[in-house]
Amino acid sequence: MRGNSQWLKFAIAGLVLVSLAACKSSEDAEAQTDEMGSEMGSAGTSTSAAQASGAGTSGRLTQEQIQAENALRQTVFYFDFDVAEFKPEDRETLTFHARDLASNPSKRLRLEGHADERGTREYNLALGERRANSILNYLIVNGASRSQIEVVSYGEERPAMTGQSQSVYNRNRRVEVVAR
Amino acid sequence: MTLKRLHAFALSFLFLLQISTAHAELSIQITQGIDNPIPIAIVPFSWEGSGVLSEDVAEIVSSDLQQVGEFRALSPSNMLAMPREEREVYYRDWSVLAQDYLLVGKVQRSPGSQLISVQYEFFDINREIKLAGEVLTGTEAQLRDIGHEISNVVFELVTGNRGAFTTQILYVVSDYVSPELSYFRLEKADYDGRRAQVLLESREPIMSPSWSPNGLDIAYVSFETDLPRIYTQNIATGQRRQITNYPNINSSPVWSPDGTKLAMVLSKDGSPDIYVHDLLSNQLTRITDHPAIDTEPAWSRDGRSIVFMSDRTGQPQIYQMEIGASSYEVERLTYDCFQCAKGQFLPDGINLVHVRRETRQSPQYQISIMNTETLRVISLTSTSLDESPSVAPNGSMIMYGTKYNGRGVLDAVSIDGRVKFRLPSSQGDVREPAWSPFLN
């Protein structure tokens, strides 16, 4: 399969890189894990892509594989107030999600859209859907199939946290990626 | 106890929860009155039976009139006499205390039955005449209803406006336990929060309760299938019917004035749009057709047009269009706000109640009224996270959801903003009130 041979090439290239710069790549991996630590959701799609590629190497992963693994562990995406488009800094992570779906056609996801409590409830229901759709559209454009992704909005009805502070509101404006 | 029986009855149609949840108790608090209330003396009604009655009818009338009207009731400790009927009334006893109106009554057990009869008489002190009087009969459980009926009579005689004291409200209660666990209940109660009954319990959100115009059925959105779908439910029997199962958003059900249709919001065709579902033929008619968000429909009184919110110009504004008109013939109603939403007309068809956010910088949301002829806007509240306004059927008061001390509460305000009361819940957050039509 095309997918496998590409990963194999990566693995070989990675082996070469790893043997040439062993110390540096492990430092990078640690730094990335720290950065992503606060963003990680609990369940997370996991290491199937990395495992598929990692087999056959010495067990160490390439930088790209580590990036992919970390990206797939991010399952919550936050939004700015009054905004329905995902943040530019999430673009790369979402690309990994799209590629993961593209290489695993049997994989299924659900995008759950949310809003903070301000404003009317029905508008927030629509806003949550718009946020989920903004991620849906990006995933499809980048390789995912429409049939792999379900979209639902909970508006302000299922907050991650309760309260009226900015930090609470920030945590509630989100789209959650749930494996199905 | 009656309440426990009703509770069990409702539960038998619904989801069984591991933990049994009591209904939320709403307690009414007056938060603002007017400067020159009408002084009224309500003499405690005499009780000529044995035992203690479960309700104090005079107290119910007194509470009603002070909560929603422009009245102040004279304290019984200041009364010079305690007449029970016309022949015991001396107008001077009341004019000397500067009272404008007087209400007296007698409560008796109907001979040979379990029924209670309440005789009341209502007087205009300044004109020294009797304005009304009759005997109302019912069971002891109906004493609250009898009290509210008397309040309706008094209110209408004094203000010229029909009283809404025998109306009811629907509302949603949520108990948040954790991000993974909340309990939701749809409840019905008297307008003052008393006699609450649970109509639906769920671990998934419930939204948008709506009354049918005859007060017998309700509609709402339930996420019990994990997706938002519209249901109707008969209040008396508890029987439910799932109305929609379209993909994506199914929300905002609102009964038409003639009771045959539900306006609703569906996003099945790409973006949320307004549709009308005919309950008899099951036919679906599309009303708006725009890639923006169109939501929050409300019917005009004649049922011929729909008021709704759309963000087609970038931010929520309120629009109106006639059913059957082309989807381009949309009239925009609001211009001066950053966001205007959840619009509906008062019974006068001129004043538009809505949720208003004035500026981008300040995310404050307040219940406001705009006169669509003069374009004058007044803000009715001093809270800033208002939502879900619902108008009393006599057009005199608006109930809405808001936040107070971090808790979701129901507030009510008169349409001139002068009188206010609050219904906080003893447990959980309350929201999304729906004021019933006139029920009798």
Let me know the angle formed at the C-alpha of B268 by B265 and B269, rounded to the nearest 5 degrees.
105
Phi, psi at residue B131, to the nearest 5°?
A: -95, -30
A32-48: pLDDT as tens digits: 443 443 344 433 444 44
What single-letter amino acid sits at A140? I
Q: Which chain A residue has the Cα nearest residue B176?
A: A162
Contact A122 B295 (CB under 8 A): yes
Of A120, A151, A160, the CB nearest to B387: A120
Question: In the predicted model, what is the mean pLDDT of residues A10-19?
Answer: 52
Residue B15 lies inside a defined structural domain of this protein: no
CB of B228 within 8 Å of any CB in chain A? yes
Structure tokens given for B369 = 């009224």
Complete DSSP assignment for A1-47: -HHHHHHHHHHHHHHHHHHHSHHHHHHHHHHHHHHHHTT--SS---T
Q: Which one-letter DSSP state was computed for residue B179?
A: T
B173 touches chain A (CB under 8 A): no
Angle at A113 between CA B222 and CA A163, to 5 degrees: 85
Residues A94 and A130 in one domain: yes
CATH number of the domain within which B327 lies: 2.120.10.30
Does A50 score more than 50 pLDDT? no
User: Is B205 in CB contact (< 8 Å) with chain A?
Assistant: yes
**Has residue B286 been placed in a domain?**
yes
Q: Give the pairing type, strands A149-155 and B38-42.
A: unpaired
Q: At which of A20, A40, A74 does a domain end?
A: A74
How far apart CA A149 and CA A137 sit, in angstroms, is 10
A160 to chain B: nearest residue by CA? B179
Give yes or no for B175 touching A (CB within 8 A). no
Q: With 50 as the cut, is the pLDDT of residue B89 above it?
A: yes
For residue A164, the chain B residue with the least C-alpha distance is: B406
Q: Is the CB of A122 less than 8 angstroms away from the CB of B179?
A: no
Contact A123 B365 (CB under 8 A): no
Containing domain of residue B265, as a range? Answer: 168-435
Radius of gyration of chain A from its Cα atoms, rounded to whole angstroms:
18
pLDDT number for residue B28: 84
Min mean pLDDT across A21-25, A90-94, A165-169, B286-290 is at A21-25
Q: Which residue has the tokens 């709402």?
A: B220
What's residue B27's pLDDT? 83
The number of distinct structural domains making up chain B is 2
Residue range B399-428: average pLDDT? 91
Side chain identity at residue B53, one-letter code:
L
Q: Check CB contact of A161 with chain B, cutoff 8 Å.
A: yes
Interchain proximity A154–B205, CB inside 8 Å: yes
| Among the partner residues A82, A122, A127, nearest to B251 by beta-carbon distance | A122
What number of C-beta contacts closer than 8 Å exist between A and B?
Answer: 86
Would you state the pLDDT for residue B252?
98
| Contact yes or no for A122 and B252 at CB 8 A | yes
Say whether both B144 and B184 belong to one domain: no
Q: Which residues contact A83 (CB under 8 A, 6 or more apart)?
A: none
Neighbours of A2 (CB within 10 A): 7
Segment among B152-161, B281-290, B414-423 with least mean pLDDT: B414-423
More confident residue, B205 or B328: B205
Query: Which tokens go with B215?
Result: 């007060």
Q: Please tell me the distance in Å from B206's CA to the nearest CA on chain A.
A: 8
- Token couple for B57: 């009818």
> Is B19 within the bounds of a domain?
no
Using the 3D structure, point to which of A12, A45, A74 is the last residue of a domain. Answer: A74
pLDDT of residue B418: 85
Looking at the structure, tell me whether residues B188 and B152 fall in a common domain.
Answer: no
Helix extents (H) in B183-323: none
State both tokens at B145.
């209803």
Q: Residue A58 and residue A49: Cα distance in Å, rounded?
A: 16
Task: Compute the distance between CA of residue A119 and CA of residue A157 in angstroms, rounded to an integer.
Answer: 12
Residue B106 in contact with residue B119, Cβ under 8 Å?
A: yes
Q: Which helix (H) or strand (E) holds A99?
A: helix A91-103
Between residues 299 and 318 of chain B, which touch chain A (CB distance below 8 Å)?
309, 311, 316
CA distance A150 to B221: 20
**Is B267 in CB contact (< 8 Å) with chain A?**
yes
Do both B54 and B84 map to the same domain? yes
B295 contacts on A by Cβ (under 8 Å):
122-123, 125-126
Verify that A47 and A121 share a domain, yes or no: no
Task: Name the average pLDDT for chain B.
Answer: 92
Query: Which of A129, A159, A161 lies nearest to residue B249, judging by beta carbons?
Result: A129
In sequence order, the 6+-apart residues with CB closer than 8 A to the CB of B359 are B338
Among residues B14, B9, B105, the alpha carbon closest in space to that of B61 is found at B105
- Number of Cβ within 10 Å of residue B366's Cβ equals 19
Tally of structural domains, chain A: 2
Q: How far is CA A132 from CA A6, A125, B221, B250, B313, in A?
A: 31, 11, 20, 16, 21
Angle between helices A63-73 and A91-103 (to 10 degrees): 100
Final residue in a domain of this structure, among A17, A49, A74: A74
DSSP assignment of A142-160 equals: TT--GGGEEEEEEETSS-S
Mean pLDDT of B170-198: 93
Residue B207 domain-assigned (yes or no): yes
pLDDT category of residue B29 using cuts at 50, 70 and 90: confident
Q: Are residues A80 and A69 in the same domain?
A: no
Q: What span, in angstroms and rounded, lies between the C-alpha atoms of A144 and A139?
A: 5
**Is residue B208 domain-shared with residue B70, that is, in the same domain?**
no
ipTM of the complex, rounded to two decimals? 0.90
pLDDT reading at B355 higher than 80: yes
- DSSP E strand boundaries for B346-392: 351-357, 366-371, 377-379, 387-391
Cα–Cα dist A70/A31, whole Å: 11
Q: Is the pLDDT of residue B182 over 80?
A: yes
A93 shares a domain with A83: yes
Q: Can you give the pLDDT at residue B365? A: 97
Phi, psi of B210 (to 5 degrees): -145, 140
Closest partner residue to A126 (CB to CB) among B207, B293, B339 is: B293
Q: Which residues of B touch A123 (CB under 8 A)?
A: 293, 295-296, 309, 311, 316, 341
According to the model, what pLDDT value does residue A59 have? 63
Residue A83 and residue A148 in one domain: yes
Domain hosting residue A132, numbered range? 76-180
Query: Residue A11 — very low, low, confident or very high, per pLDDT cuts 50/70/90?
Result: low
* CB atoms A158 and B360 under 8 Å: no
pTM for the complete prediction?
0.85
Which residues from chain A sit within 8 angstroms of residue B290, using beta carbons?
none
Specify whether B276 is located in the same domain as B136: no
Of the candidates B176, B272, B406, the beta carbon closest to that of A126 is on B272
pLDDT score at B9: 45
The CATH number that applies at residue B107 is: 3.40.50.10070
The Cα A36–Cα B398 span in angstroms is: 48
Sign, Cα dihedral of A83, A85, A91, A94: positive
pLDDT given for residue B81 in this prediction:
96
Q: Is A169 an interface residue toward B (CB < 8 Å)?
A: no
Mean pLDDT, rounded, for B168-189: 93
> Of all helices (H) and strands (E), which one includes residue B202?
strand B197-202
CATH of residue A81's domain is 3.30.1330.60
CA distance B252 to B274: 9
Instruction: Say if residue A35 is in the same domain as residue A66.
Output: yes
